[in-house]
Amino acid sequence: MADDTGELANLNVLVEIDGPVATLTLNRPDKRNAVRFNMWASIDAHVTALAANPDVRLLIVRGAGEHFCAGADISELTNGPGGEYARVNWNAEEALANFPAPTIAVIRGNCVGGGVSIATACDLRIAADDSIYGITPSKLGIVYPTNALERAVRIMGGSATKHLMFTGELIKADRALRIGLIDEVHAVDALESRIAELTATLLERSSLTQVATKNMIDEVVRDGKVKPKTTLHWETEMDKSGEVREGVAAFLAKRPVRWPWKRS
């Protein structure tokens, strides 16, 4: 069965929306969810559409079956990862990185190469203790895309990124946690309950706070500080939104909060 048509690419990247939670699933479990060219394009299209949907408050990214993502499908890289492939790959990862609301990568099994790039484009990485990580361009003679490289350095630091990139070695979840590549590790049979718990917590909190915080932290990471116009924008948004009034009223009345703000 050919896997390079638009129709089949859509089957290889699935999106489900359940109220305020969207889930994007890489769906090639027989190939450990290795990403083909049209799948990168599909990721970009899906994530861009979800970003434009103000009802989506959280995006979860996962792989079908027992693996997150074994990376780009190597069979498509015989002429290198440049040109149109590089553009589509870049756009998909940037769509994830720039998604305005919180994003969570749920990681089991292989998270290698492009899988790490997808995971590090998400805000949080919650993993099972069977997960394995690697950044492997040195095995193929590839110069890594700068957007993915910069994210890896920001998350893990220069030394850890160099070690993974120089060697192409695979590391286990405990080491990935130690170097900051992932945020939490749980037993395989406890992973889904933790994701459900974390999802519920995030949805209980102010979406305004989350979206503003993500925007400002990303500016600090990228530029070293929050720009004055960004501060003014979010302070104005907070003042006119009614979020603080509702949050305080709910706290004092000991009732569930009904957050009024929704991203546009």
CB 126 within 8 A of CB 107: yes
- The CATH superfamily of 6-202 is 2-enoyl-CoA Hydratase; Chain A, domain 1 (3.90.226.10)
Which DSSP string corresponds to 3-45?
--SHHHHHHHEEEEEETTEEEEEE--GGGTTPBPHHHHHHHHH
CA distance 138 to 239: 51
Q: What are the pLDDT digits (tens) for 184-214?
A: 999 999 999 999 999 999 999 999 999 999 9
Token pair, residue 12, equals 């290889």
Q: What is the mean pLDDT of residues 225-241?
A: 97
pTM of this structure: 0.93
The DSSP-derived string for 90-119 is HHHHHHHHT-SS-EEEEE-SEEETHHHHHH
The helix (H) or strand (E) run that includes residue 134 is: strand 132-134
* pLDDT > 80? residue 75: no
Decide: helix, strand or coil at residue 133.
strand
Mean pLDDT of the region 135-141: 91
What are the start-end ranges of the H helices in the chain?
6-12, 37-51, 83-97, 114-120, 146-156, 158-167, 173-178, 191-204, 207-223, 228-241, 243-253
Q: Taking the domains of the chain in order of start, what are their residue ranges? A: 6-202, 206-253
Q: What is the pLDDT of residue 154?
A: 95
CA distance 249 to 256: 10
Each residue of 4-60: pLDDT tens digit?
445 555 689 999 999 999 999 999 999 999 999 999 999 999 999 999 999 999 999
- Average pLDDT taken over every residue of the chain: 93
